[in-house]
């Protein structure tokens, strides 16, 4: 039976894992390579890392960090942030990423999804979608939720699937960072409208939130703060889910 | 003592970093050496060949032909020499694949590669799933039965002779996750991404099979 994946997410600047909202009050949580090694050893099913300040100066160090992480883990690695053209995807895959996630570049230029999946295969192309409710509609947003686009969320999810995305990383900007749980209604809308895997992101604060995330039919559950802060260990989340009857890898 | 030579094929089908790293760890301090195969090669110089693959069947076959790897590899396999194919590296052992277009495979293990067909199934089959063994084999010693491995694929081995299926996995229905014929193995999952049990499987292949 396919197991529900528990995926810690590292927001990275250069080689440090950070926490901070919209570049304000940035707090260093630890060394990215050390944290990645720890999560791989302690039972993470996959690792996600995002370059959250993908400036030209920081990029080289970030790519080096990807290379260093790929060398110390033996679980799949998804890398995103700062991907704007096809070459960025190639660079990250060459650095050791197994999957690359594209976000605003895909919104700007949807053809990038098709080009990337034709070149590297759908299995390594993740489209990250940020969603937010606006005037009673679910919309696609960019720039960390500050810019609301014209795209309808569900239509966009269907479109990225037909363009060849292998997976959707779905973050609700209505619940992200608040730790009140995943956005179940948004996630259910997505999972019932696409047939590719969906990773739920944004809002985990306690154990029950993971279970509720599983009920949305998302096959991957992503979290950051609850793991980085040490509030929960990966294994304790998995044991909790197992007791609830959710298939997990222990 | 003469070192045994392991060939790792870079068919330009996904990166070979993880598997390269795994093999190096395993053979460290042991009488083996690793050579990367990137073009035409003398098949008689290799004791084992590992071919990892991602992406499409047709792309891998055409890459292998372009790189002049296909012919010596086919001769190597026709001679029942030791091989481990990973994901698409396993699939190309079949007679043909139906991804994008129908493509002739290496024809080592009878069968064909077809898309998962099941209503309401999330495709690709992505994530950790367990294997159930049909029989004992050196490659799965140390309790690998019922352990989880990392899968990512949309196509499966079909119309395969049961005697060539070493393990099955269930996703919508049962499908072959480890195949074997003589000294030739194929795994549908990615052992190099499958943490300690994945490493055990690669280790078993190199040291015990």
Chain position carrying tokens 């999952």: B189
A248 within some domain: no
Q: What is the pLDDT of residue B40?
A: 98
Per the domain annotation, does A250 fall within a domain? no
What is the reported pLDDT for A22? 55
Distance CA A221, CA B123 (A): 17
Cα B34 to Cα B163: distance, rounded to the nearest angstrom: 31
- Mark out the alpha helices in B6-93 (DSSP H runs): 17-27, 57-66, 70-78, 88-91
Query: Which tokens hold the place of A60?
Result: 């080289």
Q: B16 and B60 in contact (C-beta within 8 Å)?
A: no
pLDDT at B123: 95
- Give the position of tokens 């003592």: B1
| Domain at A138, CATH number | 3.20.20.70
Q: Of A36, A66, A70, A76, which to mutate for an interface test with B (greatest number of B Cβ within 10 Å)?
A: A76
Residue A98 Cα distances to A224, B15, B55, B102, B170, angstroms: 20, 8, 12, 27, 24
Q: Is B182 helix (H, G, I), strand (E, B) or coil?
A: coil
Q: Kindly list the residues from chain A whose CB atom is less than 8 angstroms away from the CB atom of residue B59.
A: 121
In sequence order, which residues have a C-beta less than 8 Å from that of residue B141 and are 6 or more positions away? Answer: B204, B208
A130 given a catalytic annotation: yes
The angle that helices A234-243 and A207-215 make with each other, rounded to 10 degrees, is 60
For the segment B127-140, what is each residue's pLDDT rounded down to a tens digit? 999 999 999 999 99
Q: For residue A46, which residues of chain B lie inside 8 Å, CB to CB?
A: 127
Annotation: CATH topology of B4-208: Rossmann fold (3.40.50)
Distance CA B81, CA A172 (A): 52
Chain B residues with beta carbon closer than 8 angstroms to that of A39: none
For residue A157, the distance in angstroms to the closest alpha carbon of chain B comes to: 14
pLDDT of residue B153: 95
Using one digit for the tens of pLDDT, what is the confidence trace for B40-68? 999 999 999 999 988 789 999 999 999 99
Yes or no: say if B95 and B111 are a contact pair by the CB < 8 Å rule. Answer: yes
The first and second tokens of residue B10, run together, are 């870079």
Q: What mean pLDDT comes out for the span B130-153?
A: 95
C-alpha distances in Å from residue B79, one per residue of B36, B74, B92, B165, B181: 21, 9, 17, 20, 12
Which residue has 């064909």 as its token pair? Answer: B112
Contact B172, B118 (CB under 8 A): yes
Distances, alpha carbon B117 to alpha carbons A127, B120, B167, B172, in Å: 24, 9, 20, 8
Q: Which of A2, A89, A90, A250 to mutate to test the interface with B (most CBs of B within 10 A)?
A: A2
* Predicted local distance difference test score (pLDDT) of residue A56: 82
Among chain B residues, CA nearest to A47: B193
Determine the Cα–Cα distance for residues A78 and A126; give it in Å rounded to an integer.
8
Residue ranges of chain A whose pLDDT lies below 50: none
Q: Which pLDDT score, from 0 to 100, does residue B80 have? A: 98
For residues B96 and B90, give the distance between their C-alpha atoms in angstroms, rounded to a whole number: 12
CA distance A193 to chain B (A): 11
State the helix-helix crossing angle for A86-95 and A111-120, rounded to 10 degrees. 40
Report the pLDDT value the prediction gives residue A125, as an integer from 0 to 100.
96
Secondary element (H or E) of residue B14: none
Closest CA to B85 of B190, B15, B168, B175: B190
Q: Is B81 assigned a catalytic role? A: no
- Residue (of B90, B34, B36, B92) closest to B63 by Cα position: B92
Answer yes or no: are the C-beta atoms of A66 and A49 closer than 8 Å: yes
Query: Any bridge partners for residue A44, and if so which?
Result: none
Query: pLDDT at position A150, please?
Result: 96
- Domain total for chain A? 1
From the list B120, B122, B128, which residue is nearest A249 (CB)? B128
Interatomic CA distance for residues B112 and B95, integer angstroms: 6
Tell if the CB–CB gap between B129 and A196 is shorter than 8 Å: no
Q: Chain B closest CA to A144's CA: distance in Å?
A: 27
Tokens at A183, concatenated: 């956005």
pLDDT given at position B15: 78
Written as six digits, the tokens of B27 are 């053979």
pLDDT at A24: 65
For residue A152, give how far its alpha carbon lies from the nearest alpha carbon of chain B (Å).
22
d(CA A33, CA A28): 13
Query: Domain coordinates of chain B in residue numbers?
Result: 4-208
Which residue of chain A has the CA closest to B149?
A249
SS3 content of chain A, % helix, strand, coil (to 5): 40, 30, 30
pLDDT for A21 equals: 59
- Residues 6 or more apart from A239 whose CB is under 8 A from it? A250
Least confident of A172-181, B8-17, B29-38: B8-17
A172/A150 Cα distance (integer angstroms): 16
Token pair for residue A184? 């179940």
Torsion of CA A143, A149, A154, A160, to 10 degrees: -70
Pair of tokens at residue A224: 């950051």
Residue (of A190, A243, A177) closest to A219 by Cα position: A190
Q: What percent of chain B has pLDDT over 90?
A: 88
Closest CA to A218 of A9, A49, A2, A42: A2
- Cβ neighbours, 10 Å, residue A184: 18
């Amino acid at each position: 039976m396919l197991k529900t994946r528990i995926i810690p997410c590292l927001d990275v600047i250069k080689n440090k894992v950070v926490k901070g909202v919209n570049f304000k009050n940035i707090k260093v949580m630890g060394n990215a390579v050390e944290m990645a090694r720890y999560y791989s050893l302690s039972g993470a099913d996959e690792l996600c890392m995002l370059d959250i300040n993908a400036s030209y100066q920081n990029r080289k160090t970030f790519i080096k960090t990807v290379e260093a992480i790929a060398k110390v883990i033996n679980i799949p690695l998804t890398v995103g942030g700062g991907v704007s053209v096809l070459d960025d995807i190639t660079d990250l895959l060459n650095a050791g990423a197994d999957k690359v996630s594209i976000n605003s570049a895909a919104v700007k230029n949807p053809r990038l999804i098709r080009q990337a999946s034709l070149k590297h295969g759908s299995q390594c192309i993740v489209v990250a979608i940020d969603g937010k409710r606006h005037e009673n509609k679910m919309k696609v947003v960019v720039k960390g939720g500050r810019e609301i686009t014209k795209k309808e969320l569900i239509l966009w999810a269907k479109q990225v699937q037909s363009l060849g995305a292998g997976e959707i990383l779905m973050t609700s900007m209505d619940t992200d960072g608040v730790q009140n749980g995943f956005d179940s209604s948004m996630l259910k809308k997505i999972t019932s409208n696409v047939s590719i895997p969906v990773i739920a992101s944004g809002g985990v604060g306690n154990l029950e939130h993971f279970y509720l995330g599983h009920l949305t039919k998302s096959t991957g559950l992503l979290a950051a703060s609850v793991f980085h802060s040490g509030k929960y260990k990966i294994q304790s989340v998995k044991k909790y889910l197992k007791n609830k009857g959710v298939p997990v890898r222990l | 003592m003469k070192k045994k030579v392991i060939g790792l094929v870079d068919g330009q089908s996904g990166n070979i970093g993880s598997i390269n790293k795994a093999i190096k760890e395993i053979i460290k301090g042991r009488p083996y050496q690793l050579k990367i195969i990137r073009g035409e090669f003398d098949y008689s110089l290799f004791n084992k060949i590992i071919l990892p693959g991602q992406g499409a069947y047709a792309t891998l076959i055409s890459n292998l032909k372009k790189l002049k790897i296909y012919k010596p590899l086919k001769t190597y396999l026709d001679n029942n020499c030791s091989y481990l194919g990973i994901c698409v590296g396993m699939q190309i052992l079949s007679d043909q694949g139906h991804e994008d277009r129908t493509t002739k495979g290496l024809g080592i293990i009878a069968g064909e590669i077809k898309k998962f067909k099941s209503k309401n199934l999330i495709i690709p089959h992505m994530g950790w799933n367990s294997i159930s063994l049909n029989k004992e084999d050196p490659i799965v010693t140390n309790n690998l039965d019922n352990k989880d491995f990392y899968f990512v694929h949309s196509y499966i081995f079909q119309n395969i002779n049961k005697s060539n299926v070493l393990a099955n996995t269930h996703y919508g229905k049962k499908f072959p996750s480890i195949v074997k014929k003589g000294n030739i193995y194929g795994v549908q999952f990615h052992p190099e991404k499958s943490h300690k049990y994945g490493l055990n499987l690669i280790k078993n292949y190199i040291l015990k099979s």
